[in-house]
Amino acid sequence: MNKRLLTLLFFGVLMGALDIAILGPALKPIKEYFLASDRQITWIINIYVLSNLIATPLLSKLSDLYGRRIIYISSVFLFALGSLLVILSAHFDILVLGRGIQGFGAGGFFPVASAVIGDTFPKEKQGSALGLIGAVFGLAFIVGPMVGGLLLLIGWRWIFVLNLPMALILIIGALKLIPSKRAATNIKFDWSGMILLLACLAFFSFSINQIDTQDFVGSFTSAKVLPYFILSLVLLPVFIVLQRKAASPTINTQLFRSKQLTISYLLAFGAGLGEVGVMFIPGFAKSAFGMSHFAASFALIPLLLTLLIGAPLSGRLLDKIGSKTVLSLGSLLITIGLGGLWHFANTKTGFYISEAILGLGLSAVLGAPLRYNVNHETTDDNRASGQGILSVFMSIGQLVSAALVGALIASLGGGILGYEGAFSALAVISVLMVIVTFGLKAKAKDFPSGGKAE
């Protein structure tokens, strides 16, 4: 059963990841079809990411309370519903709404899948299982643009038609394979806390997305950004106070009493910062080597290949040497890769070697190891919530990185100096990540019963 279940979870996460990677080739045809502006077209991606961030803690908490199966199926159904809206859209606003519903549904895929692995797999095999799931993102960003390009030969709507049969298969598989276990006691859902959290995340993410990196200070202090950013900061302590009093809190603040979980969340934030740095590599290639836009889009292939290879490898290493060593090595490789892009990328050889090292490091941090830590430090009653918090920290890191890295590049005049300055700043942050990993448990302590599942 474990192999069939893992296959089901793999393709669920793949479906969600593909709907970002596959979209690249379709942006121009969609823009032309709806006569959309450059600003409007970015919302096709932004609304997916924002609604995904908002949905993750909600669906994770519901999964802990009402069972993995029903929430997983609901997530897939919402994703399919959003896809159908996009397919049928005659107006751009409907397309954006469909993308938002898609992103909301996809918010349950990774944290619920990770929690299911924690519930059903022996602890000594969870690393390998999570490593396979983590390889999805490298695969999606390699296969996605190619599949998207082929489907464009028929029409851009066919990119989303593909989701409907996949969703049907996943729902049928989930009914058969995912356990329906739910919390033993009927606890009232923390609606006030959830609404407050969603508002806090929505205000924060909206404000960050409105920042113009060409005029960081001016746009940050504008009415489109600063009021929403301040609102998110004001709501955060109110939310924390309410969570400490709630019978079944949306975010269990007790989880932050675990040193291992707190470190994992900090590393997730740092990994999110580094992950978004990858988005700027094609632009760096264009500036440094005069590559065309088309050629620069293929500049990420070495990184994606090492990400695809490294994710399952890091999962297997988890089961043998423990998460502390894997995360320390991964953070060190991220530092070396970013440092290489900053200092040694004046030749194509140095450029490609540096990004390959960066991909290997990201594969050892983004996927299995952090999810593995959360599974080991949580129980069935709060495992998905723990995974959801991890996803939220990673997403916040991505949002902050997109704004700050863009601002750094612009403030340094763009071009090679701008990109080198941005990568040097990320390299310094990754050094801090290496230091933080020293606080994690050693392999001997990963399994309280001497290396065996409890």
Pairwise CA distance, residues 102 & 162, whole Å:
13
What contacts 153, CB < 8 A, 6 or more positions away?
none
Q: Identify the domain containing residue 23 by its residue range.
A: 1-178
Q: Does residue 427 fall inside a structural domain? A: yes
Q: What is the pTM of this model?
A: 0.78
Q: Does residue 185 fall inside a structural domain? A: no
Rounded to the nearest integer, the mean pLDDT of the chain is 83
pLDDT at 38: 67
Q: Does residue 264 fall inside a structural domain? A: yes
Q: Are residues 415 and 270 in the same domain?
A: yes
pLDDT at 444 over 60: no
Q: Are residues 322 and 201 in the same domain?
A: no
Q: Does residue 251 fall inside a structural domain? A: no
Handedness of CA 374, 375, 377, 379 (dihedral sign): positive
Tally of structural domains, the chain? 3
Q: Are residues 237 and 159 in the same domain?
A: no
Q: Are residues 152 and 292 in the same domain?
A: no
Among 178, 211, 232, give the residue marking a domain's end. 178
Q: Are residues 302 and 446 in the same domain?
A: yes
What are 72's two structure tokens?
């997983």
Q: Are residues 157 and 219 in the same domain?
A: no
Pairwise CA distance, residues 200 & 98, whole Å:
23
What confidence tens digit (pLDDT) does each residue in 73-120 have?
A: 999 999 999 999 999 999 999 999 999 999 999 988 988 888 888 888
369: CATH: 1.20.1250.20
What confidence tens digit (pLDDT) does each residue in 156-171 have?
A: 899 899 899 999 999 9
